[in-house]
């Protein structure tokens, strides 16, 4: 992509006459432009959160966080890395900052340094980058050769790659496993990316390092408890923290710190639990360094029971089931028995619908949920006998193939079945998986399967052109009706007042601002659906009509499958799932009433509150082909 076509290189209409302005006018202009930066970063909150989790996991496993950049981007990476040891007591080399041109480039430009991919290779080989590390390539333009070369090498050796750019059309995104792209628009001075783009970069890097350190137990609340008193200022801070968390006097806090060899967390555990230095250190080890957990663990937990699972225990005979949706991801580990399966442990993470959150975030949350399940089972991750990934947004062959390739690379299981979440819902309701599954949560979809094995789907086209009858669509239509009522171009409704109360605002103007602050968070807005149902139950005609429309849409989706697959409702099952249906009794009743008008009523109607068990049943069935 040519440089002149980049957003950050474009001319900003607001500052075209900046050379004619007085100093105060320049300040106000720049301040107004800077005000948009935080919003741009907020729009990429999900990939930032996913990156924090990956970084924390890699650091916990002995890996490093490595920043790579050139110019302003490189300086900001080096700055963030250099601030981690004094702030969070990170070990030397745990967070590394590399800048094109080396240390000299921190204070003066090094001609041609950013254009050298060979230099990036040499720099990474010098620090012995490994597959355990996370490499964050920082390039505002998204096209810096030094950064692109670093990412290419990191991918070759298996390190986790993250790209940070401020231009949507960039060359980083195709190279990395996770992309963070806050688009801040043209700079006040065209091409001067040390301004808004630099501010956005600094904000993101602050979040990455701080968020990861919080997950690693470097804080207790907002106190920096993982520090060593290496100077008088830090000694005073250590004393204040111990005093604040234990109620000790200054003298008593100093005594505990001396006993704890200056370690704040150890001193707090010793004082709060009335235990010895050795026991306090064991509690912190058992808690993974998390002070809050160490303060709650029973002292007995410092002794490993003889029959506990060990990280090396075999997982070859286990099953793995994953239910991934637009709101959350649940992973379930189960043992394979003669007559079925027995659940062992679960792990949860954020959404993994790739069409809603993107493939990078989806894969990261799949990783998180699966890792959490293994951790809950006290097992080291490994290849299981069979796995079922039932993922919303993965109903098309090309999407399923992409997930299958990911599962193969991750060595997830000997046999892996990839399907969409509706198949798991149907399997949870009927062992033969014959009938119709209807999901209405943040999104919506209907899926059917007849006794001949023919399948079909209806809906599931996503929030831009589909998702009829979902929580997202119900909330969106209700918010629109509330706005029309306030403008007096629509019928009166209690929805306006109810939404203001639910979102803790005082008037429709504040309601509007709050909604648009979260316009990209469909999950949050979908959670307004219970408000609509309650207002409808109280007799509001507008809310009632919105629910009627949703019920009719859902009934039409199911009816179309009955006709297409020639399914007999009197013998098949109707499985309903998703928070909007499960927790929305009024919508559920209206949907069933609408459906009965269009076809014979189902004899078997089941609400499926735990679809991951259906995925486990599918994983078990898949494992039988190995027998």
- 114 catalytic? Reply is yes
Predicted confidence (pLDDT) at residue 31 exceeds the cutoff of 50: yes
Q: How far apart are CA 528 and CA 544, in angstroms?
A: 15
Q: Where are the domains positioned within the chain?
A: 3-215, 220-302, 318-419, 471-607
Give the pLDDT of residue 65. Answer: 95
Greater confidence (510 vs 352) lies with 352
Give the pLDDT of residue 136. Answer: 96
Q: What end-to-end distance do the CA atoms of the chain give, in Å?
A: 53
Greater confidence (228 vs 619) lies with 619
Strand order in the sheet with 435-440: 455-459, 444-449, 435-440, 573-577, 604-607
Predicted confidence (pLDDT) at residue 322 exceeds the cutoff of 90: yes
* Residues 14-35, mean pLDDT to the nearest whole number: 84
Predicted confidence (pLDDT) at residue 504 exceeds the cutoff of 80: no
Question: Hey, what are 162's tokens?
Answer: 């993250």
Predicted confidence (pLDDT) at residue 308 exceeds the cutoff of 70: no
Q: How far apart are CA 332 and CA 387, in angstroms?
A: 10
Could you say which architecture CATH assigns to the domain 220-302?
A: Orthogonal Bundle (1.10)
Give the pLDDT of residue 45. Answer: 92
Question: Hey, what are 501's tokens?
Answer: 């109360």
Question: Hey, what are 57's tokens?
Answer: 């996991």
Give the pLDDT of residue 1. Answer: 44
356 and 393 in contact (C-beta within 8 Å)?
yes
Measured CA distances, 74 to 155, 286, 586 (Å) = 20, 38, 56
Give the pLDDT of residue 302. Answer: 52
Residues paired with 340 in a beta bridge: 337
- 111 catalytic? Reply is no
Predicted confidence (pLDDT) at residue 307 exceeds the cutoff of 70: no
Catalytic position from the list 9, 33, 46, 114 = 114
Residue 51's H or E segment, with its range, is helix 45-60
Question: Does 3-215 match 471-607 in CATH topology?
Answer: no
Please, what's the b/e burial string for 404-419 (b: 16 or more CB within 10 A of its CB; e: otherwise)?
bebbeeeebbebbbbb
Give the pLDDT of residue 2. Answer: 52
Class of the CATH-defined domain 318-419? alpha beta
> What percentage of the chain reaches a pLDDT higher than 70?
91
* Residue 490, burial from CB neighbour count under 10 angstroms (0-12, 13-18, 19+): middle
Topology adopted by domain 3-215: Rossmann fold (3.40.50)
pLDDT band at 300 (very low <50, low <70, confident <90, very high): low
pLDDT band at 320 (very low <50, low <70, confident <90, very high): very high
Question: Hey, what are 161's tokens?
Answer: 């790659």
Instruction: Please give the mean pLDDT across all residues of the chain.
Output: 83
Topology adopted by domain 471-607: Nucleotidyltransferase; domain 5 (3.30.420)
- Residue among 361, 352, 365 nearest 393 (CA): 352
């Amino acid at each position: 992509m040519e440089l002149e076509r980049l957003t950050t290189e474009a001319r900003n209409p607001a500052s075209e006459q900046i050379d004619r302005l007085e100093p105060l006018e320049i300040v106000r202009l720049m301040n107004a432009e800077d005000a948009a930066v935080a919003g741009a970063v907020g729009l990429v909150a999900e990939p930032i959160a996913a990156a924090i989790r990956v970084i924390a996991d890699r650091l916990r496993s002995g890996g490093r966080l490595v920043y790579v950049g050139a110019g302003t981007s490189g300086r900001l990476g080096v700055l963030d890395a250099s601030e981690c040891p004094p702030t969070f007591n990170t070990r030397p080399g745990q967070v590394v900052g590399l800048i094109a041109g080396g240390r000299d480039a921190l204070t003066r430009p090094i001609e041609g340094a950013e254009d050298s991919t060979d230099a990036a290779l040499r720099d990474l080989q010098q620090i012995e980058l490994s597959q355990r590390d996370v490499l964050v390539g920082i390039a505002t333009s998204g096209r810096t050769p030094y950064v692109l070369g670093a990412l290419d090498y990191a991918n070759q050796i298996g390190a986790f790659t993250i790209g940070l750019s401020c231009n949507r059309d960039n060359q980083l995104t195709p190279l990395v496993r996770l992309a963070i792209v806050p688009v801040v628009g043209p700079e006040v001075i065209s091409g001067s990316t040390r301004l808004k783009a630099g501010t956005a970069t600094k904000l993101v890097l602050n979040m990455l390092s701080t968020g990861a350190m919080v997950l690693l137990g470097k804080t207790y609340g907002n106190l920096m408890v993982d520090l060593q008193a290496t100077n008088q200022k830090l000694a005073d801070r250590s004393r204040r923290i111990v005093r604040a968390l234990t109620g000790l006097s200054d003298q008593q806090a100093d005594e505990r710190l001396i006993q704890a060899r200056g370690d704040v967390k150890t001193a707090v555990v010793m004082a709060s639990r009335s235990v010895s230095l050795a026991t306090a250190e064991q509690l912190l080890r058992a808690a993974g360094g998390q002070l809050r957990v160490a303060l709650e663990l029973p002292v007995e937990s410092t002794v490993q029971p003889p029959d506990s699972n060990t990280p090396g225990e075999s997982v070859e005979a286990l099953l793995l089931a994953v239910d991934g949706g637009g709101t959350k991801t649940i992973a379930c580990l189960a043992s394979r028995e003669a007559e079925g399966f027995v659940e062992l442990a679960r792990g949860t993470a954020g959404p993994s619908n790739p069409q809603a959150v993107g493939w990078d975030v989806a894969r990261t949350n799949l990783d998180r949920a699966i890792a959490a399940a293994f951790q809950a089972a006290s097992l080291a991750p490994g290849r299981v006998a069979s796995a079922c990934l039932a993922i919303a947004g993965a109903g098309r062959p090309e999407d399923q193939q992409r997930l299958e390739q990911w599962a193969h690379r991750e060595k997830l299981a000997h046999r892996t079945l990839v399907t969409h979440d509706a198949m798991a819902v149907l399997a949870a309701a009927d062992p033969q998986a014959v009938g119709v599954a209807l999901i209405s949560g943040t999104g919506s979809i209907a899926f059917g399967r007849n006794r001949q094995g023919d399948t079909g789907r209806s809906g599931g086209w996503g929030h831009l052109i589909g998702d009829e009858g979902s929580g997202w669509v119900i909330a969106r239509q209700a918010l629109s009706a509330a706005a029309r009522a306030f403008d007096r171009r629509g019928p009166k409704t209690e929805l306006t007042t109810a939404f203001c109360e639910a979102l803790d605002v005082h008037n429709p103007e504040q309601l509007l601002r709050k909604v648009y602050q979260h316009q990209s968070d469909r999950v949050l807005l979908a959670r307004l659906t219970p408000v609509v149902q309650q207002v409808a139950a109280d007799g509001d005609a507008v809310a009632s009509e919105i629910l009627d429309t949703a019920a009719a849409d859902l009934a039409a989706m199911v009816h179309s499958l009955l006709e297409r697959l020639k399914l007999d409702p009197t013998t098949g099952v109707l499985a309903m799932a998703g928070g909007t249906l499960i927790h929305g009794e009024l919508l559920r009743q209206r949907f069933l009433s609408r459906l009965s008008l269009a076809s014979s009523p189902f004899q078997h109607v089941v609400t499926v509150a735990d679809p991951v068990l259906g995925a486990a049943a599918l994983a078990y069935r898949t494992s039988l082909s190995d027998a």
